């Protein structure tokens, strides 16, 4: 219900804005006995941290997480875990134009229209900084998953920047950590570096597609109608800043398939059902099949660009705007660890929901 | 939280399965004083009803809705409205293969794996019949919206069947009600009829893309993080059977745009801000801009086809299956009124949420 | 969130009013595989049914429950169970005064002030008939509990009518089913019959206290802050019509105890901790101890009485009112099965919540 | 749903334990534009602060609140407000017995049985320190209420300590702030001081009754079934540590009244309906009448006492325990501002809910 919470049983409420004293995540419903410390969460925050390559914003913040509650002697207690990240880079600057003008393609205008409050310091609650809280919560979710379903592995990567897509023939899991784009296609990484560098220098920005895969998810998670695993994944990914589309398995391309082509045929393997293909993205009727759960989302280009755009002021006068300052030429890059975090939160939540309602999987095959 | 409820303040819980005595929607939180009767809801159910053209399943049911509660002397009372549809076509038949075999691409197998219960009579809760309940609830939502935001108009239509897309140059709102595909492109309707008739005769099926537009939505609905208007729309559409992808505005194509191309420039109109374009689909930072709210979703092809596919039985034996009987060659067609209903429910819910937290829009422009 | 739902994972939404076509409960989150049929639920409805003795309203309705969904071949499927009770006694009558006048002590006036709708036919949604839906849901909850925690036994009984209290020395579980007051004190039952008969003849009414005990509840259910087992029990009981007070264990009398007197000393028994007393009512820090869970609530006297009372009309004129017609001299009697039903729903919900977050109890003693 | 959240639209999630680095409240759904600063919240925390008289624990902490988010330039922004209180008195001490033994009447044992985690440092999450977070959230709620319903006034006070009750004839609102017991009966305050001083010296403790009144609440807040105003108040108060009973209006005494005595007769006043009495405690059918909303709750005596009590250890051995150290002889005293805070949160939440569903009261009288 609440506007800043996500999840059913593993419930994450994020708080804080880009230029306040701190931001964080209040995590309720974490199982007790999960081994966790700040370093384990910091690992994932460091992955998202800006300023790691020339392709991300040069705002430099340590994004150091502090655990304020819910952990005792290195283990979760089962009570709320408060994960706080202090904002250190609140340098006073001349906000100039932004105080009065709305940036086209940015939440400035809708924020003002809804709340009548303008936090001109950097996007306030609509800043991408909010996603740091999600990454922290996702880090905790990953450790809790290890306890309940240790085979689950969650990995995100980029499959497209602008019109440049990866070649699936080059897909190599081991490449993902080897390049600043978290892409499994080494060749694409090289090409994108050149392309993005040009774009960055011209002060423009571009969109991207991120794919997140969860391997080892047990069959049976989800439910047929509104608490579908794919419904919750769609909500999770669409809630990330700048995301405009979400796909499960074939996604929008499912429209182009015939029933014959789309059917993932079923065989009997050693440990249960096996499938000839995975058009379904690991989810049938809202419930996981045991195959890889595959989600993809599109991130729009940053609205903060160096090109002059037409806009209006709070008082309704027509004018123009250029957004100077540090920005990400492709915010999609930093969305990779955010997408992974959301996947982790959704998977854990559904593991708990399933255990709550069902206890354990009931329908054995074979 | 609950697995069969949707919405925050206007909260719809659907219940029932394809071959039980009845199904319906329990609608909680409807404002009082909304003028409603069964005929007003029946109007929308008739639009979704099967058997209206040769392109939809020949299962024929009146889908007659009964209002069991929450309405007194033609007006909602503010208490739960129970909308019930009795199942009349429960003809006993030979379920044969389906009792033991899983249909590839169908929820049969995951349902069994989760619940250990197999309602072999027709998909049980995962049947598309569940969407009749949504359409009924959506009919009520439309009337409530009229009371609060009378300018809102919600319209769905098909933009693609298989690889065949509409030509946006032919877009004509008045065509939508003139063809069995609810498409605004009259030429496409003709072409699709030929294409789909062939497909139907061959016992195959195909996917589709549906677009739903809400015009006249006031600026300010939604919130920046998890209760984003687009998050709730994504969840709403992804929760519809067979949907595999959801897009807002540019959707997945946003990945291909530069920041310069994507920026919807802002001007000052008579009644407030005007935009040069609507790449954003009417939503910025999770909050409505006052432009058309544009959602698109892909529906996969029906898994019930006449082609033999490989599968397994409950006891784990490998076998083959053909699904005979009445089916939709393109379930996307009947998804149009369902998408409209979900849009209506989400818009109403956010109108109420906004009124609850804010009272009225606070930030005036000009 | 929704206004007519109760519970976290086992979630009951009741709907319907006293004089509409039907009322019922939409039950979401019930575990699959629970053996259930209409007769098993009818058993509890019959216990609550009016007209069983001269001490309850003479409105005679069969209150026959129909299961419309969520049960297949005698077992719950894990999807929503719709329990419907048709209203058969909707006799047209002269509502006379009630259409315009507000009954003192009745929800007539607040209902009107909130909704601007007056369902004058019998209290609408605020009628005690709504509690039939709860009893139906509670019947299902009892069967689900049997599957998860088979030792749980839930029993309600009256401990007070007006100023007449039971003598705890006479407490005999076997007496509860032997008298129309569901009281464990046979002597009290005799005395109350005389007292209440006089009161009934004079057209007056009186309040009562009901106690509900759950025996065999495992230790560990609940949580320390807002999802306390006692918080949910207090909400459950206070949500029943006419309830004005709720107590756990010592209840209000806890105020009179010293810390020394209140401490339930702990010993080690065969199967775990044993306590010298149960001032706590089986709940410490919001979590069950394994002792009997003891809840008590006060029901106010019916406001429909034959004495003339001063009141006003919808148009604000001062006047007087007498409520003729069938009524309960002590609604507390029929609140006994309702209290039991709410206890069953809360206990089941917490069994599922606990299993969801924790899996199984972790802290062994001894 | 979540275990540490309270409220529907104005939603408070508290976090933190007695001996961690900090605790606080994450407040979601606060209306924008509420004027607030740390001092305004500190005012209420100071009222609850320990060590203010010899009748409360001598643990001395400043309980200084910091606003970490959701406020910009002195006004709420409509996004989450994070209220943090750092724990300063975490002095290392010898926990001795408490690490292995369970205190009778304390959550030690249930906590361990549920979570398998023992935060022996001071009660962890079940410590009364958690209520500081509630008081902070309540301080914010009070300011938001001022904006929406400026006539609302919320006042709590003690009406009973042990067996010593106030004399209602002495009731004087102006006395409440004049004595350490927040009691409106000056004579009682004197008597209680003597009584409690003796009790304190003997190392014993005692229970209490607190009453909280909200004056000026508009008619129409609440709903008839589960989101009753009294249901939410009962849950709110029962969720406070050590509370064992909750009453609305007549409360448990309603059982002793006849329908004739209980009916609050209605007259027509200048500004709407007036009542001859307020047995109902300002709530009929779950909806506010416009009269004073009156809630009462009983607080049990502290379990930490100097008397030796029998108990067991984690390993199941029988033993004895004395709880030395700083403690409250009557925790009921410090429960007064906590009860007020919960009342404020519930009233604000229902103001928002009502505005969301209804817009404004619809049913005019006269």
A154-189 per-position pLDDT tens digit: 999 999 999 999 999 999 999 999 999 999 999 999
- Partner-chain contact B358 D32, CB within 8 Å: yes
Quick check: D266 and C310 CB within 8 A? Answer: yes
Task: Produce one character per residue of A169-199: b if its CB has 16 or more CB atoms within 10 Å, e if not.
Answer: eeeeeebbeebbbbbbbeebbeebbebbeeb
Label residues D27-36 b or e (16+ Cβ within 10 Å = b): bbbbbbbbeb
| Chain A CB contacts of B222 below 8 Å | 110, 114
pLDDT of residue D59: 65
SS3 A40: helix
User: What b/e string do you get for B81-103 counting C-beta neighbours within 10 Å, with b at 16 or more?
Assistant: bbbbbbbebeeeeeeebbebbbb
**C282, C249 Cβ separation under 8 angstroms:** yes
Would you state the torsion angle of the CA atoms of residues A164, A170, A171, A173, taken in this order, to the nearest 10 degrees? -120
Closest partner residue to C82 (CB to CB) among B15, B77, B80 is B15
Chain A residues within 8 angstroms (CB to CB) of chain D: 1-5, 8-9, 11, 13-17, 20-24, 26, 28-29, 32-33, 66, 68-70, 72, 75, 77-82, 84, 114-117, 119, 124-125
Contact between A32 and D115 using a beta-carbon 8 Å cutoff: yes
Kindly report, residue by residue over A101-131, the tens digit of the pLDDT.
999 999 999 999 999 988 887 778 888 899 9
pLDDT-derived band at C327, boundaries 50, 70, 90: confident
- List, in sequence order, every residue forming a beta bridge with B321; answer none if it has no partner: B309
CB contact under 8 Å between C358 and A32, yes or no, is yes
Give residue A305's pLDDT.
79
Residues A105, B264: C-beta atoms closer than 8 Å? yes
Interface test with B, best of C66, C68, C122, C124 (most B CBs within 10 A): C68
Rounded (5°) CA angle D354-B344-C112: 30
Contacts of A15 in chain D (CB under 8 A): 26, 28, 68-70, 79-82
- d(CA C69, CA B82) in angstroms, rounded, equals 14
Q: What is the DSSP string of B100-140?
A: TBPPTTSTHHHHHHHHS---TTT-GGGSTTHHHHHHHHHHH
Give chain C positions within 8 Å (CB) of D288: 110
Chains contacting B (3+ CB pairs below 8 angstroms) = A, C, D
Q: What is the pLDDT of residue A119?
A: 80
CB-based contact C266 D116, cutoff 8 Å: no
Interacting residues of D217 by C-beta distance below 8 A, sequence separation 6+: D149, D152, D282, D288, D290, D292, D293, D347
Q: Are C208 and C161 in contact (CB under 8 A)?
A: yes
- The confidence score (pLDDT) of residue B348 equals 98
Residue B1 has pLDDT above 60, yes or no: no
Question: Which chain C residue's Cα is nearest to D354?
Answer: C114
Identify any residues that bridge with C206 across adjacent strands, giving them in sequence order.
D258
Contacts of C31 in chain A (CB under 8 A): 357-359
- Estimate the share of chain B in helix, then strand, then coil, as percent rounded to the nearest 5: 30, 25, 45
- Number of other residues whose CB lies within 10 A of the CB of residue C298: 30
- The partner residues of A54 in beta bridges, in order of sequence, read none
A217 token code pair? 């998810």
CA angle C320, C325, C326 (to 5 degrees): 135
Residue of chain C minimizing CA distance to B13? C26
Nearest to D212 by CA among D136, D289, D138, D303: D138
Residue C304 pLDDT: 76
Interface partners of chain D (CB pairs < 8 Å, 3 or more) are A, B, C
Q: pLDDT tens across D18-76, in order? A: 889 999 999 999 999 999 999 999 999 998 777 677 777 766 778 999 999 999 999 99
From the list C3, C82, C125, which residue is nearest B16 (CB)? Answer: C82
Taking an 8 Å cut-off on Cβ atoms, the answer to whether C2 and B5 are in contact is: yes
pLDDT per residue as tens digits for the range A2-23 = 799 999 999 999 999 988 999 9
Q: In this complex, which of C249, C312, C354 lies closest to D365 when CB atoms are compared? A: C312
Confidence of residue D325 (pLDDT cuts 50, 70, 90): low
CA distance D236 to D134: 10
| pLDDT at position C56 | 75
CA distance C42 to chain D (A): 22
- Give the pLDDT confidence score for residue A326 in this predicted structure: 61
Shortest CA gap D76–chain A (Å): 8
Q: C149: buried, middle or exposed (CB in 10 Å: 19+, 13-18, 0-12)?
A: middle
Alpha carbons B265 and D213: distance in angstroms, whole number:
53
CB contact under 8 A, A125 and D15: no
Residue C95 corresponds to which tokens in the numbers above? 């509502």
* Inter-chain CB proximity B104 and A264 less than 8 Å: yes
Q: Which of C105, C263, C310 faces D267 most closely, judged by CB atoms?
A: C310
Instruction: Give Cβ neighbours of residue B294 (< 8 Å, ≥ 6 apart).
Output: B211, B212, B213, B248, B249, B278, B281, B282
The backbone torsions φ and ψ at residue C288, rounded to the nearest 5 degrees and listed phi first, read -65, 145
What confidence tier does B93 reach under pLDDT thresholds 50, 70, 90? low
Contact assignment for D20 to A68 by CB distance below 8 Å: yes
Average pLDDT score over chain C: 92
Contact yes or no for B224 and D79 at CB 8 A: yes
Q: How far is C21 from chain B (nearest CA, A)?
A: 6
Tokens of D300: 């049990």
Residue D47 sits at the vertex; the CA angle it makes with D43 and D49, to the nearest 5 degrees, is 110
- Average confidence (pLDDT) over A324-346: 90
Residues B250 and B257: beta-carbon distance below 8 Å: yes
Q: Which chains sit next to A, with 3 or more Cβ pairs under 8 A?
A: B, C, D
A296-321 burial, b at 16+ Cβ within 10 Å, e below that, comes to bbbbbbbbbbbbebebbbbeeeeeeb
Please tell me the predicted confidence (pLDDT) of residue C364: 86
Which of A322-336, B234-248, C146-160, C204-218 comes out lowest in average pLDDT? A322-336
Question: Is there a contact between D363 and C117 if contact means CB atoms under 8 Å apart?
Answer: yes
Q: Does position A72 have pLDDT exceeding 60, yes or no? A: yes
pLDDT at B307: 85
Q: Chain C closest CA to B132's CA: distance in Å? A: 15
Interface contact flag, B31 D78, Cβ < 8 Å = no
By the 8 A CB rule, do B204 and B213 touch? no
- Give the side-chain half-sphere CA count within 13 A for D70: 30
pLDDT above 90: percentage of residues in chain D: 78
Chain C with chain D: Cβ pairs closer than 8 A: 434
CA–CA distance, B116 with A363 (Å, rounded to integer) = 4
Q: With beta carbons less than 8 A apart as the criterion, state whether D78 and D95 touch.
A: no
Cβ distance D77 to A21 less than 8 Å, yes or no, reads no
The kind and range of the H/E element at B269 are strand B266-269
Quick check: D224 and B79 CB within 8 A?
yes
Mean pLDDT confidence for D274-298: 97
Torsions phi, psi for D287 (to 5 deg):
-120, 140
Q: Do D359 and B31 touch (CB under 8 A)?
A: yes
Residue C219 has pLDDT above 70, yes or no: yes
Phi-psi map region of D230: left, alpha, beta (phi>0 left; psi -120 to 50 alpha)? alpha
CB contact under 8 A, D31 and B357: yes
Q: How distant is the Cα of D59 from the closest Cα of chain A, in angstroms?
A: 20
Q: Which residues of A touch C (CB under 8 A)?
A: 1, 9, 29, 31-33, 78-79, 148, 224-225, 352-353, 355-359, 362
pLDDT at residue D87 is higher than 70? yes
Does residue D159 sit in helix, strand or coil? strand
Element (H, E) at C343: helix C332-357
Question: For D250, which of C239, C252, C300 is closest by C-beta distance?
Answer: C300
Instruction: Identify the closest residue of chain B to A210 by CA–CA distance.
Output: B255
Percent of chain A at pLDDT exceeding 70: 95
Amino acid A361: pLDDT: 67
CB contact under 8 A, D78 and A115: yes
- The DSSP secondary-structure symbol of A35 reads B
């Amino acid at each position: 219900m609440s506007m800043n919470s996500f999840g059913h049983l593993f419930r994450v409420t994020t708080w804080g804005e880009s230029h306040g004293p701190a931001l964080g995540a209040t995590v309720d419903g974490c199982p007790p006995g999960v081994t966790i410390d700040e370093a384990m969460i910091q690992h994932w925050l460091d992955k998202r941290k800006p300023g790691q390559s020339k392709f991300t914003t040069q705002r430099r913040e340590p994004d150091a997480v502090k655990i304020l509650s819910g952990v005792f002697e290195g283990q979760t207690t089962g009570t709320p875990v408060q994960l706080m990240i202090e904002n250190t880079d609140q340098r006073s600057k001349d906000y100039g134009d932004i105080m009065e003008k709305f940036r086209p393609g940015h939440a400035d205008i809708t924020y003002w229209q809804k709340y009548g409050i303008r936090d001109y310091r950097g996007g306030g609650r609509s800043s991408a900084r909010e996603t740091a809280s999600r990454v922290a919560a996702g880090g905790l979710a990953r450790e809790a998953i290890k306890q309940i379903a240790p085979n689950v592995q969650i990995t995100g990567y980029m499959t497209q920047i602008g019109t440049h897509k990866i070649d699936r023939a080059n897909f190599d899991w081991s490449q993902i950590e080897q390049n600043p784009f978290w892409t499994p296609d080494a060749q694409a990484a090289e090409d994108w570096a050149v392309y993005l560098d040009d774009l960055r220098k011209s002060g423009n920005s571009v969109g991207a597609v991120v794919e997140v895969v969860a391997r080892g998810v047990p069959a049976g998670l989800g439910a047929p109608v509104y608490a579908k695993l794919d419904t919750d994944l769609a909500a999770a990914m669409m809630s990330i800043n700048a995301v405009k589309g979400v796909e499960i398995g074939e996604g929008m391309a499912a429209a182009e398939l015939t029933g014959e082509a789309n059917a993932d045929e079923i065989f009997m393997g050693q440990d249960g059902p096996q499938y000839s293909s995975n058009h379904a993205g690991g989810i049938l009727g809202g419930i996981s099949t045991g195959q890889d759960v595959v989600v993809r989302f599109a991130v729009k280009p940053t609205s903060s660009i160096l090109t002059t755009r037409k806009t209006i002021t709070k008082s309704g006068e027509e004018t123009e705007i250029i957004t100077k300052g540090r920005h990400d030429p492709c915010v999609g890059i930093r969305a990779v660890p955010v997408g992974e975090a959301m996947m982790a939160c959704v998977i854990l939540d559904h593991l708990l929901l399933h255990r709550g309602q069902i206890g354990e999987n009931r329908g054995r095959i074979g």
